Amino acid sequence: MSKAPHVRKAQPGFRWQSVDLEAYKEAGGAPFKAVTRQVLFQRPELACELRYFEVRPGGHSTLERHEHAHAVVVFRGRGACLVGDEIYEVAPPDLVLVPPMTWHQFRATAGEPLGFLCMVNAKRDKPLLPTDADLEELKQNPAAAAFLEA
């Protein structure tokens, strides 16, 4: 990340001064589609990180779970998220809590970008991807099955 001033002015296109636009994750291990990430705050004196993710229309974040929780504020657009095996339609300024070890995924389903702020612990574990058995269990809920197959 670039040098972090105390105030980072908003820029056009849901960007911020002195904040790098990055790939959502490194390519290869975790399936996702059309997602970018900006780390807004990542400082040694903070116990958390604040990031902004943007999912382009038709895109989705990785289906994953981990020991740490997420606190999400939907900031732009509309879409849907899976939390556990439940599907929720989301739009600004909805709040989403992702508890520890809960499957989750965000999708831009409304033909527009879905942007959200996400706060996580600065020190956190690596995400786990679902096994075939995990996917079968999630798909026991017809709504979750339709979401995952979209």
CA distance 38 to 15: 8
Q: List beta partners, residue 92.
A: none
Q: Provide the residue type at 73 as one letter.
A: V
Closest CA to 108 of 32, 10, 45, 44: 32
CB-CB neighbours of 81 under 10 Å: 24
Active-site residue, 81 included: no
CB 55, CB 61: distance < 8 Å: yes
Catalytic pick from 118, 138, 144, 148? 118
Catalytic residues: 118
